[in-house]
Amino acid sequence: MIYRVSKYLWVLFILIMLMQVCGCQESSSPVFIPSEVKEEPLLLNQESRPIEPKDADAATDIDGDLGLESLIKTDSGEGKVLSQDNYCNLWVTTDFGRNVIYQDKVLVHPGEKMIEVMRRNLQIETAYGGGFIKAINGQDSAYTDNNLFSRQRKDWFCWVNGILSAEGAANYSVTAEEVIWWDYHDWSGSYFTPAVVGAFPKPFIRGYGGSKVGTLIMYGEGQEDSAQQLKKSLTKQGINKVSILPYQDDLLNNRDQITLVVGQWTSLSRFSNLKSLLDRGNKAGLFARLQQNQVEALAVNGQVTTIYDQNSGAIMATATGMGDAFPLWLVLGMNETGLKNAVKVFIENPEQLKMSAGSLVTLEKVIRLPE
């Protein structure tokens, strides 16, 4: 009797298990998906594709030509042309733009945080509660080796329109037409680089966080004509609020608008505030030093890498700190020839500044800084 009951129970157990297995495909029970890996609707640039490093010098213009091929799919399945009203430029590079990991025009939703834009287009890892990006596409913030004397500290840094972001990726709201530039580089000798020239002309057009401020051009002795040329060039870019003054050293540290200084170092070097700033070199994110009859290119750690002659000039930018809406730009030459060449690059060939912290201009070429 006991045997028969046990046999029936065993058969019943098997039937129940079979019902569960067969019914699992029809189950209507909700499935929990962690928020970090929850799938989102496929948007522009979210499609899977290999991302190969490439030379920054082959990069296209900042805004480029959208063309009719730049389409996104609406909910109805119809194509919609991507306009300047809903995209930003997203760049990811290493070593101050020398190697390009990713660059594209990507969709931005109103009020969207930077981390959401990053997550939709790249593979990222976060830390400190999710607000700090510590790795992009597998490149992690770390020391290069265990040797205390030779190792480098490499991290990810983000500039918004050429200005070092003062907010974490989880807090900064991206707006249309901005340039969001992430770069992975050594900062063991330079602390940080508060402003760069590589997103020109966005700092003058968009500012930081969408703050559109005016521009003041201050010129050195005998360089009013150069200042007028720079003003005309900026005006053509749609930057209308531009004023010009002879150089005033007290205004250098009390800026209430973007300030651009143009002139020969032989005449400007007598001003203490400007000279003190240039003497700080890499500590201020300035990777060229003008000395008497030569221009010295600097590495990230401030060491002189190459010395160029007096016919050289430099285009550089700096700021008082992160999120400074009033960065300082410098267009300098050791002599008239060096200044003329630097002004010419700024006006006629600004694409040569793209994805650079700064640029050193010689008679033959434009050199990326830091060298």
166 and 209 both lie in a single domain = no
Positions of the chain with pLDDT under 50: 1-60, 64-80
Q: Decide which of 154, 186, 218 is a domain's last residue.
A: 186
Asked whether residue 90 falls in the same domain as residue 206, the answer is no
CB count in 10 Å sphere of residue 359? 26
pLDDT at 128: 81
Domain identity same for 166 and 279: no
Scan for tokens 């973007």, then name that residue: 258
The predicted pLDDT at position 21 comes to: 34
The domain total for the chain is 2
The secondary element (H helix, E strand) that includes residue 274 is: helix 272-280
3-state SS, one letter per residue, for 195-212: ECCCCCCHHHHCCCCCCC
The answer to whether residues 221 and 108 belong to one domain is no
Tell me the residue range of the domain where 248 lies.
Answer: 202-369
* Structure confidence at residue 146 (pLDDT): 58
How confident is the model at residue 150, as a pLDDT?
53
Closest CA to 161 of 91, 61, 102, 227: 91
C-alpha count within 13 angstroms, C-beta hemisphere, residue 201: 20
| Residue matched to tokens 């521009």 | 215
The predicted structure's pLDDT at residue 192: 84
* One domain for residues 155 and 230: no
Q: Quote the Cα angle for 359-361-364, to 5°.
A: 135
> In whole angstroms, what separates CA 191 from the centre of its chain?
17
Give, in order, the Cα–Cα distances in Å from 186 to each of 104, 193, 319: 24, 11, 19
